[in-house]
Amino acid sequence: MKKILLPLMALAILLTGACNKESYYHTMSIVKPVQASIVFADQEIDTLQFYTTDNFTLTSNADWAVVPDTMKSGKIKNYYHQVWVVTSPIVFDANTTGSPRTAQISIKCFGDDDWDNTGTATFHQISWLDITRPLPKYSYKERVVTGATFEAEDSATQVTDTLVFYVFSNWTLTDGDFVHPETLSGNPGENKVPLRVEQNASTVSRETSIMLTSRGVKTSIKYTQKGKKEEKDDKE
């Protein structure tokens, strides 16, 4: 995924109604997110998009999900009641709370004939980074995801593994007791980090963890390595 610098405001004519100044047609509808948008803990920006025929205001109920000042209100000179698409970035603080959280952006549109309409766009920000290898194991409460853990299991003789993740900022990794990342820092975007794994000479399994950090968000990845099989004495 590439980073896209979004303009603070993009307005485009989607549909033109009848050219009648006396028409009292009004509309407002949210295009994105359709129901809710899921953003990762280190994600910096997402997009709100809606269409309207009238002036609007945008307000957030959370101080960590910010509507830019230039998008908090908009005036649309709409003599012929065209439908305009409005696109606004929503800017997020990093989620270092350790728990998912939810923000709602209220959209209020109001017309010149006392018409008004409101809508709400929901953004769920999870508390972990976007790691795809190892795959996340989710925890739930009342069918709602409340957390994720990342665990991998290696054999006693395994010497390599791979960590795969996508981050929105520069990142760092810590070294493990027997799992050693090839590199300990890097740039935003998708990353595939080779891991060197020390063979386990013991018959007892062992565990270690490495920590991935981006925008101050820390996510731990646990590695379990099996013990080697016991050698049986040859019988004559």
So what's the pLDDT on residue 7?
35
Say what the pTM is.
0.83
Q: Which of 8-17, 113-122, 145-154 has the lowest mean pLDDT?
A: 8-17
The whole-chain average pLDDT of the chain stands at 87
Residue 115, pLDDT > 80, answer no
Q: Which of 177, 171, 183, 186 is nearest to 209 (CA)?
A: 177
Residue 19, pLDDT > 70, answer no
Q: Which stretches of the chain are assigned E, i.e. beta strand?
A: 10-15, 28-32, 36-39, 45-52, 55-60, 65-66, 73-74, 83-92, 101-110, 116-125, 130-133, 136-141, 144-154, 160-167, 171-173, 179-181, 185-186, 189-197, 206-214, 217-225
The 10s digit of each residue's pLDDT in 177-227 is 999 999 999 999 999 999 999 999 999 999 999 999 999 999 999 999 999
| Residue 201 CB partners (closer than 8 Å, separation 6+) | 228
Q: What's the average model confidence in pLDDT over 95-113?
A: 92
Spatial contact of 100 and 126, defined as CB atoms under 8 Å apart: yes
So what's the pLDDT on residue 213?
98
Residue 34, phi then psi, degrees to nearest 5 = -65, -50
> Domains of the chain by range and CATH?
10-125 (2.60.40.10), 130-225 (2.60.40.10)
CA 217 to the chain's CA centroid: 12
So what's the pLDDT on residue 88?
97
The 10s digit of each residue's pLDDT in 120-172 is 999 999 999 999 999 999 999 888 889 999 999 999 999 999 999 999 999 99
So what's the pLDDT on residue 226?
97
Percentage of the residues of the chain whose pLDDT score is greater than 90: 72
Q: How confident is the model at residue 75 (pLDDT cuts 50, 70, 90)?
A: confident
Question: What's the CA gap between 185 and 26, in Å, rounded?
Answer: 52
Q: Which of 82, 86, 124, 126 is nearest to 104 (CA)?
A: 124
